[in-house]
Structure 1
Amino acid sequence: MLSAESAAVIRATLPVVGAALDDITTRFYATMFADRPELLDGMFNRGNQASGAQRQALAGSIAAYAGALVHDPEASPQAVLDRIAHKHAAVGVTENQYTIVHKYLFAAIADVLGDAVTPEVAAAWDEVYWQMAAALIAREARLYQSAGVQPGDTWRPWTVVERREETPGTVSFLLRPADGGPAPRARAGQYVSVRLLMPDGVHQLRQYSLSADPGAAGDLRRITVKRVTGTGGAPDGEVSALLHTTVRAGDELVLSAPFGDVVLDEGDRPLVLASAGIGCTPLVGMLDHLAATGSTRPVLVLHADRSPADHAHRAEVHRLVEQLPHAQALFWYERPGVEEAGARVGLLDLTDVAVPADGEVYLCGPLPFLRAARAQFLRAGVESDRIHYEVFGPDQWLPGAAV
């Protein structure tokens, strides 16, 4: 909880700081990487930097955390902190890096806001930062301990057992620990980071969901990778392109331990697994887990895609749904095909779908899909705290965040 003095200052300055956060984070990253270029080697994704996704995610998380502290001081913004902690652990963030970030972030605040940053304002925002940092450091320490790794030392070589083409632009890799040891424990819905050495000698990483039940495959794990093609001036995905063009069975990949706060709950409520595009992967992992454990829960699988040919794991979803006694799947395609004669046309639309209002909803897909789908589920009577979402890459969307 903030001190009363700092809370008053944050409440008064949050609109100004919030409006300037994009400029602040732009200055922050530019200055930090100019002074500390080694941070781009295996820590920060260059594609997210170029697209602005990382900058927007940082700005959103700061505003959401500060807003939560002043608007609901008795509550801790758990969702914001947990999401960030899992992302940090998946890339090996360590405690000392918070000092580095503090140095460059507060220099950027002073540069952008100038004389508006009085000693009182600086002290109040400093309190916000270190409260947030302390909470994240504690959470990340627990995550590392639970994963059985030292802070920041989360990497391990894995052997590609099989490469499987899912669609023309999507490939799955079946992996086993290269050292012969057991695979780390994982839960359905979690992801791993893949760390690759790029042609220019710089390591880059990307998170990929476990697309099969991690509990039923022994020491095998599966990830599914869509080749990212840049649009609107954004660059192509470096990591996905290298995985598609160079990695074959017998090769080795370096993976992190599994992390991720959006995991399948073990209750008995009805489930809705809603996805778009490659967002299907963590939900296929959940569906696989339900089938492997003989679940009798009602399950509604909803997926939207460009066409049946673009729909990764489409046949597998049908097979898994058939194994579950109370499961149903509905698909939407912008370009329907004969492969799915019963599919619906267009984007996901819940108008005539019987959504269980007491169910747990899991969403994964592009941000426009997440926003539209969440709004539809809320209108269908699902409570907001039962709608869970996963975002690939930096989380630029914090529903309900106060700015």
Structure 2
Amino acid sequence: MLTAESAAVIRATLPVVGAALDEITTRFYARMFADRPELLDGMFNRGNQASGAQRQALAGSIAAYAGALVHDPEAAPEALLDRIAPKHAAVGVTEEQYAVVHKYLFAAMAEVLGDAVTPEVAAAWDEVYWQLAGALVAREARLYQAADVTPGDTWRPWTVVERRDETPDTVSFLLCPADGRPAPRARAGQYVSVRLLMPDGVHQLRQYSLSSDPAGDGDLRRITVKRVRGDGTPDGEVSNLLHLRVRAGDRLVLSAPFGDVVLEDGDRPLVLASAGIGCTPMVGMLDHLVATGSTRTVLVLHADRSPADHALRSQTRRLVAELPGARAVFWYEHPGAEEPDAEVGLMDVGELALPANADVYLCGSLPFMREVRARFRQAGVPGDRIRYEVFGPDLWLPETADA
């Protein structure tokens, strides 16, 4: 809860601070990594740093959080906090690291805004930051406790039991714990971080959805990885290394499972809409529905370049056939004989008969989810019934947290 004095200061300075946040976060990351380069080794994604996505997401989240507090000083924006906390837990963020971020973030703010950062302004924004940090630390502590791991120490070795090529650019890895302990409990829709040592000696993390039913797999877990063919940037370095070098018998280091976009129990109808490799959490959800004998109405929607590029396509068809209340509609930019009934082009939900009172799950690129979510909203689906997953910095979060 912000004090009345701080709320007034934040309200007055938010336009100025908001306009400068991109420059502030740019200087923040540059200075922090110059002083603390170890943070790039297994904590921060250098692909997101190179693209600017991380600083954009940070700036957007700060502005959204501050704006929400100004709107209602006594309430925290729960949806925004609940989206950020699992991402932090999945990379092992600890309470101590918030003090490090505070030091460099506020130094950058003072550097960019100069004399505009009076003691009163600094105190008000300091209050916002520590309220945000405190709320996240509390949520992350609960997530670590639920996952039965020590805060920040979420990593375990896993053995690759099987490698299966799904498409020319997609491969699945079936994994089991290498330390002899039972696999951690997971829910359909969650993801794990993979921690990989790169050729230059730096560890990098990437998140991958569990692409089968974790509750029905015993101690086995499956992830499905699409190879990112980059242009020399770090974006595809982890996926390429997984594709080129990892085989059955090798070991990978995985985090405990996290993620707030999980399949909820109940009998409400479901719409699972995905594009490209966004199909992976949806297949995990379908697998769970089959394993539990679900009779829910399920509409599966997927868009891809072609049937040959559609990862887990055959398994999706099989799972849909095993669910009495399910049907699937696919869209392909380049149709193929494998799916003669598929639609041509991009996904268009405008003409579909959607099940009433459905929960909608989205996963795919940001442009895809923006467009499809807007169409679902136009069709009358409430915003709180539409859940989405973004891997990496969530540039969409400020727009959708309360919409």
- Work out whether the TM-score is over 0.5: yes
In structure 2, the residue matched to 1:3 is 3
Separation in 2 of the partners of 1:12 and 1:236? Answer: 39
- Measure the CA separation in 1 of the matches of 2:90 and 2:344: 37
Q: Secondary structure at the match of 1:73?
A: coil
CA pair 243-304 structure 1, distance change in 2 beyond 3 A: same
Deviation at 1:72, TM superposition (A): 2.7
Would the aligned equivalents of 2:80 and 2:401 in 1 still touch at CA under 8 Å? no
> Hey, what does 1:274 align to over in structure 2?
273
Distance 1:82 1:356 in 2: 27
Any conservation in 1 of the 2:3–2:73 contact (CA below 8 Å)?
no
CA shift at 1:235, angstroms? 4.0
Q: Which residue does the alignment assign to 1:242?
A: 241
1:293 has 2:299 as partner: no
Distance apart, 1:356 and its partner CA: 2.3
User: In structure 2, the residue corresponding to 1:179 is in which secondary structure?
Assistant: coil
Q: 1:139 to 1:401 in 2, by over 3 A?
A: closer
Q: Partner residue of 2:333? A: 334
The answer to whether residue 385 in structure 2 is matched with residue 391 in structure 1 is no
Q: SS in structure 1 opposite 2:201?
A: coil
- Listed as ranges, the gaps of 5+ residues in structure 2 are none
Give the deviation of 1:177 after TM superposition: 0.1
Alignment of 1:347-358 (within 5 A): 347-358=346-357
> 1:183-213: CA deviations, max 9, x gaps?
0000000000000111111111101000100
How far off its partner does 1:236 sit?
4.1
Q: Give the length in aligned residue pairs.
A: 401
Mapped pair 1:115 → 2:115:
yes
Q: Would you say the 8 A contact 1:67–1:401 is kept in 2?
A: no
The 3-state SS of whatever aligns with 1:237 is: helix
Could you list the runs of 5+ residues in structure 1 that have no partner in the other structure? none
Q: Per-residue displacement from partner, 1:95-118 (whole Å, max 9, x unpaired)?
A: 110000000000111111111111
Task: State whether residues 229 and 235 of structure 1, in contact with CA within 8 Å, keep that contact through their aligned partners in structure 2.
Answer: no
Moved more, 126-135 or 67-76: 67-76
CA distance in 2, matches of 1:234, 1:73: 42
Partner of 1:91: 91
**C-alpha separation in 2, matches of 1:335 and 1:178:** 42
CA distance in structure 1 between the partners assigned to 2:116 and 2:400 by the alignment: 28
| Normalised TM-score (structure 1) | 0.98
| Secondary structure of the structure 2 residue equivalent to 1:382 | coil
Residue 35 of structure 1 is matched in structure 2 by 35
1:234 to 1:202, Cα distance in 2 relative to 1, 3 A: closer
Distance 1:297 1:118 in 2: 58
Q: 1:183 to 1:341 in 2, by over 3 A?
A: same
Cα distance in 1, alignment partners of residues 175 and 319 from structure 2: 21
**CA root-mean-square deviation:** 1.2
Amino acid at match of 1:249: A
Task: Tell me the TM-score normalised to structure 2 length.
Answer: 0.98
Residues 25-66 of structure 1 deviation map (CA, whole Å, 9 limit, x = unaligned): 111100000000000000001111111111111111111111
Alignment of 1:129-278 (within 5 A): 129-230=129-230, 234-278=233-277
1:85–1:91 distance in 2 versus 1, CA, 3 Å: same
**Equivalents in 2 of 1:236, 1:280: separation in Å?**
20
Instruction: Report the AA paired with residue 192 of structure 1.
Output: V
Contact in 2 for aligned 1:357/1:380 (Cα 8 Å): no
Contact preservation (8 Å) 1:163, 1:248 = yes
Q: In 1, Cα distance between the equivalents of 2:338 and 2:74?
A: 54
Q: Is it true that 1:128 corresponds to 2:146 in the alignment?
A: no
- Residue type at the aligned position of 1:225: V
1:75 Cα offset (Å): 3.0
Code of the residue aligned with 1:78 in structure 2: it is: E
- 1:166 & 1:56 partners in 2: Cα distance? 34
> What does the per-residue CA deviation read over 1:150-181, in whole Å, with 9 as the maximum and x for residues that have no partner?
11010000000000001100000000000121
